[in-house]
Structure 1
Amino acid sequence: MSSDDFITDAEIAGDESAYTLDRKSINAILASVEADDQVLLTELMEPLHAADIADMLEQFNSGDRARLIRLYDREFDGEILSELDESIREEVISVLRPQVLADAVREMESDDVVDLVEDLTEPQQEAILDALEDADRVAVEQALAYPIYSAGRLMQREVAMAPEHWTVGEAIDHLRASDNLPEQFYHLVLVDPRLHPVGNVTLGKLMRSRREVPLLDLTEDTFRAIPATQAESEVAYAFNQYHLISAPVVDEEGRLVGVITIDDAMTVLDEEHEEDILRLAGVGEESSLSDRVIETTKRRFPWLFVNLATAILASLVIAQFEVALAQIVALAVLMPIVASMGGNAGTQSLTVAVRAIATKDLTGSNVWRVIRREVLVGLINGLVFALVMGIVGYIWFGSLVLGYVIAAAMVINLVVAGFAGTVIPVLLDRLGIDPALASGAFVTTVTDVVGFFAFLGLAAAILL
């Protein structure tokens, strides 16, 4: 592996001081690994943030990654594991010595341990669970009992809470004396005698208020409890929609079982956005630069096969106009333009619609208004480009009628693209099919078939 392959974000931005992991640091770290110099490696890694170390491990090949971990393992902490891409976590864990892994896991919050364990093989899960203390192991196993991608998996079990009848002074004294608080927290959760959360008090209000003030007088208006079985995508939406900082999680009986903080909710939101982008491109929802060739090939093959099938369908439409194509060669030259413009317009509408569905901005109450808007946009763009292509067709081939044909086909296809790009994702969503995953193939097929049929059909009817 050559260190010259690495270009950091800071270098791209032209400001290496904004990013600890610069090219010079990577080169020095690689040199220390190659020299088997543990002292120098530890010195070079010491100023790096856990996220930077995780980034670097993801960039290295398997051999260099293993050598670095073995040299650095005494300093390896749990935060690095939580920052690692899921695609290489198992590999890193398999390289770490059992005692180092145990020490790293014990440093992690319960939600981070759950996130780490749920994607591992059963033997590796057992190795990590065995490293935990009994109380922590029980907490993690209880979280793993909740459905995957649910709030129960996302929450941390450590909660800063207080009885609803306490005053500010009692709460502060309790927090100072407690040794079982989360490493970071933003609210004090108030609970009734049955452990039902009744409100949140921000630490800012708590510290500003006099000791005799009742906690109930300081509760936040934005308080809401989240069921442990709620989908994590819904949790992330609630945090984003209602500007939450943290929220208590409750079981089926409404009792407090954990808390979700904004950093975890925003991580889910980022993952949802990333999955939508990858699905729209047809490369799978868990693609990574660290994936192996075979894994990447298997993930992309089905969607390439779908594209092949749709391309064959479009070719069958073209085959119906063999006579027209044989007599007028200009049709073969111009028809890809019509299909391409329709495909691009459809993708634009599709992307807007899929994102609006994901953010719940596109609903039954406004769907027809959005469809009408996209159709009108397609019509206006179609008319403009129809004029351009009509002139191009006339100048290029000296045929005014041919210019009319491609202009009309352009208008038809862009209108259909705007309609299909919005309607297809909505229909798929209503049918319970992920629109980000399946819309692209359908929209491309519609615009190709309509584009070829409109252009060649009009040409055959008018020019022959």
Structure 2
Amino acid sequence: MSDSELPEVETPELDELDEDDRLRPEFVRAVLDAVEEGETDAARALVEPLHPADVADLFELTPHEQRAGLAHAVADLLDADVFAEMNDYVREDLIDALTPTEVADLAAELDTDDAVAIIEDMEPEDQREVLRALDPDDRAAIEEALSYPEESAGRLMQRELIAVPEHWTVGDVITYLRGHEELTTDFWEVFVVDPQHKPVGTCALSWILRTPRWVPIADVMSREQTLIPVDMDQEEVALRFQKYALISAAVTDWSGRLVGMITVDDVVHIIQQEAGEDALRLSGAGEGDINQPVRLTVRTRMIWLIVNLGTAMVASSIVGLFQDTIAAFALLAVLMPIVSGMGGNAGTQTLAVVVRALATNQLTSSNTRWMILRELRIAAANGTMLGLLIGAGTYLVFGNADLSIVIATAMLINNVTAGLGGVLVPVTLDKMNVDPAVSSAVFVTTLTDTMGFFSFLGLATLWGLHG
């Protein structure tokens, strides 16, 4: 049967994307309904016009139990570009359903960094089978990448790049680019290397195209370049790209030889990932990925909830020290959560600012003292204002001047403590090479809770408040 004789597949007229470029719920439902009813041609016709990133989104929006059916219906549309855009957990679901040979064929189509992202999370035995099925050159490149630490430049970099010797002319470079079909087609600059294959400069494609052929490439290239060590953490890589407005950068091994490059499209993903990780770690929510398995999510959150339970018991033990004072003046039990709660909020604000400043290298050892003094001034100003407000409110409601003074003073003390702790805790953890985004919140919350209770109840005891 010729192409002209093939039956036409009727598909509903649907707008795939809304005004925010997100897949419309009715479109997703139409695709899944077609798959469920066995109308694979209709499902494929709906999905075929989508961009690879939108196809990846479609799988992420599909319930876990329906992904295999969708993958079967649109199997020929699941190319390397789709897998490269896909969420890690969703991609693992689909990879698990493929044979090692199919995974190897997929990895061979990808850039090295994307292929590594697919293979690195596989079980060791499956990983070995996939590597054995790869072309020797691809296998060697991926095995080398897997030998580097996780979340390092070595895992992030691409091996596909253009490097030329510095004695060539612009004409030599153009002839080389046009005469070798196996060269990568996605690049913005050419790296210039010495005989030891160490990078000595870079040359943007625009410079090459606008320069006469007889000019030596060494006269056109820029010798100022940002080199990325192969073992540099990906977060530091992202900061360098951001700081120096890079489009791509050379990656060098321990001997200084050029081994790969990192491009800005990879770094944008890292910046988004790292920013999200820090925000979620502050709350103890783990990765916060809605596609993460429920069991893993429960385990991650439970660990920190148990830690928080321990810190809550520490805070409650402070309250226990003042049982007699609370028994003599029960109103204290009503008001003391206000002091601890406001201190916790103030500490969280400071903590968020400091963790971000550490992550972006805005806060270093050279300006830590200034940062401490700055946050103390802010905390003192906020504490004074909040103290006056809560003091006035307490007096208006309860008509007790002594109680108003005690709660106002406690509010000031706890806010200053929160400001100091919000800086010192993450800075100290950072000095100890502990990620401040992971552990700081627990310590700061414990500090503000205990100081809030201790300052309020302690001052009430010293003041001799009673009912």
**TM-score per shorter chain, which class?**
over 0.9
- Assess, with a 3 A threshold, how the Cα gap between structure 1 residues 126 and 198 changes in structure 2: closer, same or farther: same
Pair 1:40 & 2:42 matched: yes
Name whichever of 34-43 and 426-435 sits farther off: 34-43
Quote the residue 2:190 is aligned against: 188
Aligned counterparts of 2:102 and 2:23: Cα–Cα separation in 1: 24
- Assess, with a 3 A threshold, how the Cα gap between structure 1 residues 72 and 130 changes in structure 2: closer, same or farther: farther
- Assess, with a 3 A threshold, how the Cα gap between structure 1 residues 221 and 199 changes in structure 2: closer, same or farther: closer
- Assess, with a 3 A threshold, how the Cα gap between structure 1 residues 48 and 131 changes in structure 2: closer, same or farther: farther
Asked if the contact 1:73/1:96 (under 8 Å) is kept, the reply is no
Aligned counterparts of 1:18 and 1:340: Cα–Cα separation in 2: 38
Name whichever of 29-38 and 223-232 sits farther off: 223-232
Quote the residue 1:208 is aligned against: 210
Deviation at 1:97, TM superposition (A): 5.3
Asked if the contact 2:281/2:438 (under 8 Å) is kept, the reply is yes
Quote the residue 2:272 is aligned against: 270
Superposition map of 1:408-447 within 5 A = 408-447=409-448
- Assess, with a 3 A threshold, how the Cα gap between structure 1 residues 98 and 121 changes in structure 2: closer, same or farther: closer
Deviation at 1:229, TM superposition (A): 2.1
Asked if the contact 1:73/1:100 (under 8 Å) is kept, the reply is no
Asked if the contact 2:100/2:126 (under 8 Å) is kept, the reply is no
Quote the residue 1:5 is aligned against: none
Asked if the contact 1:248/1:259 (under 8 Å) is kept, the reply is yes
Asked if the contact 1:73/1:97 (under 8 Å) is kept, the reply is no
Quote the residue 2:310 is aligned against: 309
Question: What's the CA shift string for 1:5-48, capped at 9, x where partnerless?
Answer: xxxxx99xxx8145162223212211211122221122111121
Quote the residue 1:406 is aligned against: 407
Q: 1:157 aligns with which of 151, 159, 183?
A: 159
Question: What's the CA shift string for 1:44-87, capped at 9, x where partnerless?
Answer: 11121222222221222222111101111122101222222222
Aligned counterparts of 1:48 and 1:123: Cα–Cα separation in 2: 35
Give me the CA root mean square deviation.
1.8
Asked if the contact 1:51/1:80 (under 8 Å) is kept, the reply is yes
Quote the residue 1:319 is aligned against: 320
Quote the residue 1:135 is aligned against: 137
Aligned counterparts of 2:133 and 2:214: Cα–Cα separation in 1: 44
Quote the residue 1:256 is aligned against: 258
- Assess, with a 3 A threshold, how the Cα gap between structure 1 residues 432 and 101 changes in structure 2: closer, same or farther: closer
Quote the residue 1:247 is aligned against: 249
Name whichever of 387-396 and 264-273 sits farther off: 264-273
Asked if the contact 1:330/1:397 (under 8 Å) is kept, the reply is no
* 4+ residue runs over 6 A deviation: none
Asked if the contact 1:249/1:260 (under 8 Å) is kept, the reply is yes
Aligned counterparts of 2:257 and 2:103: Cα–Cα separation in 1: 33
Amino acid at match of 2:187: F
Aligned counterparts of 1:327 and 1:296: Cα–Cα separation in 2: 45
Deviation at 1:124, TM superposition (A): 3.0
Amino acid at match of 2:218: L
Amino acid at match of 1:344: N
Asked if the contact 1:33/1:71 (under 8 Å) is kept, the reply is yes
Aligned counterparts of 1:178 and 1:394: Cα–Cα separation in 2: 84
Aligned counterparts of 2:20 and 2:441: Cα–Cα separation in 1: 38
Name whichever of 173-182 and 195-204 sits farther off: 173-182
SS at match of 1:176: helix
Question: What's the CA shift string for 1:254-312, capped at 9, x where partnerless?
Answer: 2221111111122222222121111101012x331112222111111111011111111
Deviation at 1:221, TM superposition (A): 5.7
Deviation at 1:99, TM superposition (A): 5.6
Aligned counterparts of 1:429 and 1:72: Cα–Cα separation in 2: 48
- Assess, with a 3 A threshold, how the Cα gap between structure 1 residues 220 and 24 changes in structure 2: closer, same or farther: farther
Aligned counterparts of 1:19 and 1:166: Cα–Cα separation in 2: 46
Tell me how many residue pairs correspond in the alignment: 451
TM-score by length of 1: 0.93
Aligned counterparts of 1:89 and 1:400: Cα–Cα separation in 2: 64
Aligned counterparts of 2:370 and 2:336: Cα–Cα separation in 1: 31
Deviation at 1:112, TM superposition (A): 0.9
Q: Which runs of 5+ in 1 are unaligned?
A: 1-9
- Assess, with a 3 A threshold, how the Cα gap between structure 1 residues 216 and 134 changes in structure 2: closer, same or farther: same
Amino acid at match of 1:307: N
- Assess, with a 3 A threshold, how the Cα gap between structure 1 residues 291 and 161 changes in structure 2: closer, same or farther: same
Quote the residue 2:351 is aligned against: 350
